[in-house]
């Protein structure tokens, strides 16, 4: 949803930078790795220290590498299975670090156990959402349905977390995380149901 609607805007925005990086010899894989490293540092260094606003700004500066590396790959007209694998794997690391960083802070100095638990639930369900699709595709099914895509998860968490660092009541973050967890759970169910229907539609071995 959000990622599809915003794709054209961000492609136009980052195309000049992508072209320049390729010109100086930077590869899409390098951008993927650097971007993930930046997100992990922001999430696991700034957030556990309670620096929610500055951590969010730091993460945001690197999160768009996920758009940039794709633009660079298309410019090179390269469809690499390795690049796709690397990007997907590092996305999981970045997402895990984001929710883990929030959980660490709210389990400790932030002293808000419900938020910490909600962040951990989002972490687990977010991984299951991604795993369900990957496993389905490895078996020859499709599972690209669901209401909680990665872009929505990241935007909602980053925006609310950043403003929480500026004084937004923490209950807003709690509600956001709970809603995100529910949306992720619904997405998992949608993908399971979708694959189940596809499996039932397959001809039986005896046919």
Catalytic residues, which ones? 91
Give the C-alpha separation, 30 to 130, whole Å. 23
Which residues are CB-contacts of 189 (< 8 A; sequence separation ≥ 6)?
none
Give the C-alpha separation, 13 to 8, whole Å. 9
Give the C-alpha separation, 63 to 155, whole Å. 10
Give the C-alpha separation, 117 to 122, whole Å. 9
CB-neighbour burial class of residue 10 (10 A; exposed 0-12, middle 13-18, buried 19+): middle
Give the C-alpha separation, 32 to 203, whole Å. 41
């Amino acid at each position: 949803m959000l990622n599809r609607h915003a794709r054209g805007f961000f492609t136009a925005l980052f195309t000049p930078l992508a072209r320049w990086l390729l010109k100086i010899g930077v590869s899409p894989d390098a951008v993927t790795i650097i971007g993930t490293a930046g997100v992990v540092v922001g999430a696991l260094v700034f957030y556990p220290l309670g620096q929610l606003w500055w951590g969010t700004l730091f993460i945001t500066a690197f999160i768009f590498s996920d758009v940039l590396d794709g633009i660079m790959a298309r410019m090179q007209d390269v469809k690499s299975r390795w690049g796709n694998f690397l990007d997907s794997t590092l996305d999981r690391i970045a997402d895990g670090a984001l929710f883990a960083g929030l959980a660490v802070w709210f389990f400790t100095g932030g002293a808000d156990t419900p938020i910490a638990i909600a962040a951990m639930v989002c972490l687990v369900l977010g991984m299951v959402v991604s795993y369900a699709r990957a496993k389905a595709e490895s078996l020859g099914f499709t599972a690209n349905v669901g209401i909680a895509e990665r872009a929505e998860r990241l935007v909602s968490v980053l925006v609310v977390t950043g403003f929480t660092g500026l004084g937004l009541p923490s209950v807003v973050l709690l509600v956001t995380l709970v809603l995100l967890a529910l949306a992720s759970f619904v997405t998992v169910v949608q993908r399971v149901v979708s694959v189940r229907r596809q499996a039932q539609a397959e001809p039986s071995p005896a046919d």
